[in-house]
Amino acid sequence: MNVPTTPRPAPGAFLRTAPDWHRPLMATAALCAVVLAAALVGLAVDDRTLVGRPIWLKPAKFALSIAVYNVTLAWLLSLLVRWRRTGWWLGTLFSAMVLGELAAIGLQAWRGELSHYNYATPFDTAVYNAMAAMIVTAWTANLGIGVLLLVQRVGERSTTWAVRIGTGIALAGMAAAFFMTVPSDQQMVALENGGPGDVIGAHTVGVADGGPGLPVVGWSTVAGDLRVAHFVGIHGLQALVLLALLLVALGRRHPRLEPDAVRLRVVAVVGSAHAALLVLTAWQALRGQSVVRPDAVTLLAAALLAAATAAGLWWALRRRGGGSGRERNRATGRA
């Protein structure tokens, strides 16, 4: 059978064809760019804050993240050789859901209200419940796309497995957000005592949202923050795809990386390390520990992960692939 290889378009062709990868996803990415620009203006002229952060920072971060993810997903869907129509509809559903989520976040920012975990009024509750439904639908659509990518080749084996592993990590990273919807201990006490339940759920573990945090991302510097694992997971897809493409480019100049089998081993090692990092950051956050203040146990786990990754890369690069990359790309077989 004919095995597709990673596309290598002529200079300039890549960007020229980008709008046609998946028009709804790319259109949503373009709208995200508009929202990002508007949010940056808001940051410059609107001095309002919410839970200690500039009110337009959240729309800006979500717009950038959604744009990057949509462009990645659009490119991957353009590589499908089977079930392209199914992939198109799943991508369209995903783009509609994340665009709706971004619109809700922007609306609440304009109103000066929380977008997530907000049950203060019937309207806020309706907005948050709609967002929750859209997020679950988007996750399900992404899962369907992941299945399509799992059962077919989208390039060399190294690129194919980078996409498969990265998609799995991204789905896990999205799922990590569900931990944020669980009421904190303080919120549970208030609810059990019949107190106000204006906010149910939080990003941080151990303290209320809005405390000291890192610049821009806002991750807590005094308590656990589930957004770290959420970020690490969601953008694992981009990290592994970029790694695979970089390895292909380097393989043209460095004989050691020319065999696809060598690149595949590198992708497997880095993908495993990234998945472990997702677990490590989620575990650290759930223990109420700030990402910038790891204890001895966390540092030991991180050191073991770094050592295992280094050993894995040494093994991956030391072993030869058993043939040139060109020969392996022409070969037939199963992924």
**Can you spell out the DSSP letters for 9-43?**
PPTTHHHHHGGGS-HHHHHHHHHHHHHHHHHHHHH
pLDDT at 200 over 90: no
Would you list the DSSP string of 96-122? HHHHHHHHHHHHHHHHT--SSSB-SSH
Per-residue buried b or exposed e for 224-259, using 16+ beta carbons within 10 Å of the residue's own CB: bbbbbbbbbbbbbbebbbebbbebbeebeeeeebbb
* Element housing 268 (H / E): helix 260-286
pLDDT at 13 over 60: no
Picking from 163, 103, 158, the residue whose alpha carbon sits closest to that of residue 130 is 103
Q: What is the pLDDT of residue 332?
A: 39
Give me the phi and psi of 218, to 5 degrees please: 80, 10
3-state secondary structure of 324: coil
Is residue 22 within 8 Å of 93, Cβ to Cβ? no
What percent of the chain is modeled with pLDDT above 90?
A: 60
Q: What is the pLDDT of residues 168-185, one digit of tens each?
A: 999 999 998 888 888 777
Q: How far apart are CA 230 and CA 205, in angstroms?
A: 14
Confidence tier at 193 by pLDDT (50, 70, 90): low
pLDDT at 322 over 70: no
Q: How far apart are CA 183 and CA 187, in angstroms?
A: 6
Q: How far apart are CA 272 and CA 66, in angstroms?
A: 24
Q: What is the pLDDT of residues 210-253, one digit of tens each?
A: 788 888 888 999 999 999 999 999 999 999 999 999 999 898 88
Q: What is the pLDDT of residue 9?
A: 47
Mean pLDDT in residue range 275-298: 94
Give 3-state DSSP helix, strand, coil % of the chain, rounded to 5. Answer: 65, 5, 30
DSSP lists the bridge partners of residue 225 as: 204
Residue 324, judged by CB atoms within 10 A of its CB (0-12, 13-18, 19+), counts as middle
Query: In this structure, is the dihedral angle defined by the CA atoms of residues 155, 161, 162 and 167, taken in order, positive or negative?
Result: positive
Q: What is the pLDDT of residue 334?
A: 43
Would you list the DSSP string of 180-243? GGSPPHHHHHHHHTT---SB---SEESS-TTSSB-TTT--BSSSEETHHHHHHHHTHHHHHHHH
Is residue 157 within 8 Å of 335, Cβ to Cβ? yes
Picking from 228, 48, 222, 208, the residue whose alpha carbon sits closest to that of residue 199 is 208
Tell me the residue type at 206.
G
Hey, what are 117's tokens? 């975990």
DSSP lists the bridge partners of residue 50 as: 53
